[in-house]
C-alpha cells in the first residue's frame, strides 16, 4: 500500500478485510460442493457482489492515496467490467431495463406463448431458481475468476497488513474454518441443490393474474433472494468471528447482513418503480410488517437503519448500531426477505406433466449427443418427431 498523510479509520480497513475475506471463504465453500446447481447459485452470488466490493474498496483506497489504479486492477478491461457489473447488481431496476430486455431477447422468452423458453431449477417440485438472471453471467467464467482472485489476494494482503499474520497462517485459518463446517456445508448444498428442467414461462405464471413486469421481477430477483436466505441460514448455525490482537474482529455474519441490506435497497427501488397491483400489494405488506412492528424499537425506523448498514459498503464511514438495535434490524431483514420470497413463490406454479418430462428427455438426449441449440432450432419439428416415436435422432449432417 502507498503511504498516506491522511489519518485512516482502522474500522474502514477492517470492513474491507472482512468483506473480501468473506468472499474468499465462500470460494472455499464452493470448492467443497458437488451439486452443479448449488455451485452455480454460489457462483452467481459471488459474481453479483464481488464487483461491488472491489469497486468500493478501490474508490476508498484511491481517495485516501493508499493505492494506484495500475497496481490495483490487473487490466483496464477488468476495471470496466467491475464497474459494469457493480451497476447491474446495485443500481439496475427491472422497469424498462435494457439489460433485462437483452436477456429476454437472447433467451427467446415469450410470456404469453406455449413454448419452452426457460430453465427451472427445482427439487421435489420446489423452485430453487431460474436461468434468467444467470443467462449472461454464465459466459463470464473468466471474469468471475478474476474477481475472485482479486478478493482472495486483497484479503491476504490486508490480513497481513492489519494483523501481521503470514499467508501460511491465513490459509491455515480459512482451511480450519472450512473443516469445522463440513456438515453445515453439506446442508447448504442440499438447500441449494436441484435439477434443471426446461419449462414454459407461460405455464409457470399460468395460474396468476400478475403482469409481465411482475413476472420479470420474479425471474430476475428470485435467485438472489433465495441464495441469500440459504447463505444466511448457513452462517447462522455457527458464527464465524476471527478476533485479532488489536481488539477488532472479522465477522462474516456482518458481511452477509450488509449484503442483505444492499439487496433490500435494490428490491425497494423495484417496488417504488413498478406500478403494478402485485408490487403495490407487496410493498404495502412489507411496510406493515416492518414499520408497524411494535415489538421492536427498530421497526418504525427499519428502512433508515437498514440504509445505514447498506452504506457501510462505501467504507468511508462505518456505522455501528447499538447491539440490541442491530439484532432487531437483522431479524427484520430476514422477515423482509422471507416475505418477498413467499410472495414470489405464491405467484408461480411448477409441476412436470408428461409433455414436460418428454421434452426434457429430448433436450437431455440432444445435450448428450452434442446437438447444438442452433441445430435443434433449425430442425426442431423433425428432430422432436423422431425422438417422440423412435427415442433417437438421425441427424442432418
- Cα 167 to the chain's mean position, in Å? 28
Q: Give the pLDDT confidence of 63-100 residue by residue, as tens digits.
A: 888 887 777 887 888 889 999 999 989 988 888 788 89
Average pLDDT over residues 25-34: 94
Statement: residue 17 has pLDDT above 60 = yes
> CA angle, 225 as apex, 44 and 313 as ends, to 5°?
75
In this prediction, residue 74 carries a pLDDT of 75
The percent of residues in the chain predicted with pLDDT above 90, rounded, is 63
For residue 272 the three cell numbers come to 417504488
Mean per-residue pLDDT, 323-334? 93
Q: How many angstroms separate the CA atoms of 18 and 164, rounded?
A: 15
Task: Give the integer Cα–Cα distance in Å for 279 and 140.
Answer: 31
Domain limits, the chain: 10-253, 354-390
- Residue 48 · residue 90 · CB < 8 Å: no
Predicted pLDDT of residue 6: 53
Q: How confident is the model at residue 217 (pLDDT cuts 50, 70, 90)?
A: very high
**Sequence-ordered strand ranges (E) for the chain:** 118-123, 126-130, 195-199, 241-243, 249-251
* Per-residue confidence (pLDDT) for residue 4, from 0 to 100: 45
Q: What is the pLDDT of residue 142?
A: 83
Share above pLDDT 70 across residues of the chain, in percent, rounded to a whole number: 97
Tell me the pLDDT of the chain averaged across its residues: 90
Residues 165-180 have a mean pLDDT of 87
**What's the average model confidence in pLDDT over 301-313?**
93
The phi-psi region of residue 96 (left if phi > 0; otherwise alpha if psi is between -120 and 50; otherwise beta) is left
pLDDT at residue 195 greater than cutoff 80: yes
Q: What is the mean pLDDT of residues 154-182?
A: 87
pLDDT over threshold 80, residue 155: yes
Angle between helix 277-291 and 212-237 (nearest 10):
30
What's the rounded Cα separation, in Å, for the pair 118 and 204? Answer: 10
pTM for the model stands at 0.92
Give phi and psi for 196, each to the nearest 5: -100, 130
DSSP one-letter string for 10-30: HHHHHHHHHHHHHHHHHHHHH
Q: What is the pLDDT of residue 308?
A: 94
User: Highest mean pLDDT: which of 43-52, 158-167, 296-305?
Assistant: 43-52
Specify the range with the lowest mean pLDDT, choosing from 105-109, 167-171, 208-212, 358-362.
Answer: 167-171
Q: Report pLDDT for 377.
A: 86
Report which of residues 53 and 299 the model is more confident about.
Answer: 53
The lowest-confidence range among 1-5, 47-51, 92-96, 178-182 is 1-5
Higher-scoring residue by pLDDT: 62, 282: 282
Confidence at 158, pLDDT banded by 50, 70, 90: confident
Looking at residue 297, its pLDDT comes to: 77
CA 118, CA 141: separation in Å to the nearest integer? 21
Q: Is the pLDDT of residue 199 over 60?
A: yes
Q: Which residues pair with residue 96 across a beta bridge?
A: none
Distance CA 101, CA 208 (A): 22
Q: How confident is the model at residue 294 (pLDDT cuts 50, 70, 90)?
A: low
204 or 135, higher pLDDT: 204
Amino acid at each position: 500500500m502507498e503511504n498516506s498523510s491522511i489519518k485512516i479509520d482502522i474500522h474502514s480497513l477492517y470492513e474491507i478485510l472482512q468483506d473480501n475475506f468473506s468472499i474468499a471463504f465462500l470460494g472455499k465453500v464452493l470448492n467443497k460442493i458437488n451439486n452443479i446447481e448449488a455451485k452455480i447459485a454460489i457462483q452467481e452470488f459471488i459474481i453479483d457482489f464481488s464487483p461491488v466490493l472491489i469497486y468500493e474498496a478501490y474508490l476508498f483506497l484511491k481517495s485516501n492515496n493508499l493505492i494506484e489504479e495500475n497496481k490495483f486492477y490487473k487490466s483496464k478491461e477488468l476495471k470496466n467490467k467491475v464497474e459494469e457489473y457493480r451497476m447491474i447488481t446495485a443500481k439496475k431496476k427491472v422497469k424498462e431495463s435494457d439489460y433485462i430486455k437483452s436477456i429476454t431477447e437472447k433467451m427467446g422468452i415469450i410470456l404469453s406463448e406455449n413454448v419452452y423458453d426457460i430453465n427451472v431449477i427445482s427439487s421435489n417440485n420446489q423452485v430453487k431458481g431460474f436461468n434468467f438472471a444467470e443467462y449472461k453471467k454464465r459466459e463470464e467464467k473468466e471474469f468471475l475468476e478474476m474477481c475472485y482472485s482479486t478478493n482472495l489476494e486483497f484479503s491476504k494482503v490486508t490480513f497481513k497488513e492489519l494483523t501481521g499474520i503470514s499467508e501460511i497462517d491465513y490459509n491455515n485459518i480459512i482451511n480450519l474454518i472450512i473443516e469445522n463446517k463440513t456438515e453445515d456445508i453439506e446442508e447448504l448444498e442440499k438447500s441449494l441443490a436441484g435439477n434443471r428442467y426446461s419449462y414454459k414461462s407461460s405455464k409457470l405464471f399460468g395460474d396468476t393474474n400478475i403482469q409481465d413486469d411482475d413476472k420479470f421481477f420474479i425471474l430476475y430477483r428470485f435467485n438472489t433472494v433465495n441464495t441469500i436466505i440459504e447463505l444466511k441460514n448457513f452462517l447462522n448455525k455457527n458464527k464465524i468471528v476471527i478476533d485479532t490482537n488489536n481488539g477488532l474482529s472479522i465477522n462474516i455474519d456482518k458481511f452477509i447482513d450488509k449484503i442483505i441490506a444492499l439487496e433490500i435497497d435494490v428490491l425497494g427501488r423495484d417496488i417504488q418503480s413498478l406500478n403494478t397491483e402485485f408490487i403495490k400489494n407487496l410493498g404495502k405488506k412489507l411496510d406493515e410488517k416492518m414499520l408497524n412492528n411494535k415489538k421492536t424499537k427498530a421497526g418504525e425506523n427499519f428502512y433508515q437503519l437498514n440504509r445505514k448498514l447498506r452504506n457501510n459498503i462505501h467504507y468511508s464511514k462505518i456505522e455501528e448500531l447499538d447491539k440490541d438495535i442491530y439484532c432487531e434490524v437483522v431479524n427484520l431483514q430476514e422477515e423482509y426477505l422471507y416475505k418477498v420470497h413467499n410472495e414470489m413463490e405464491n405467484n408461480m406454479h411448477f409441476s412436470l406433466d408428461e409433455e414436460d418430462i418428454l421434452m426434457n428427455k429430448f433436450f437431455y438426449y440432444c445435450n448428450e449427443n452434442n446437438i447444438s441449440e442452433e441445430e435443434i432450432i433449425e430442425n426442431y419439428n423433425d428432430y422432436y418427431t423422431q425422438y417422440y416415436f423412435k427415442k433417437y435422432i438421425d441427424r442432418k449432417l
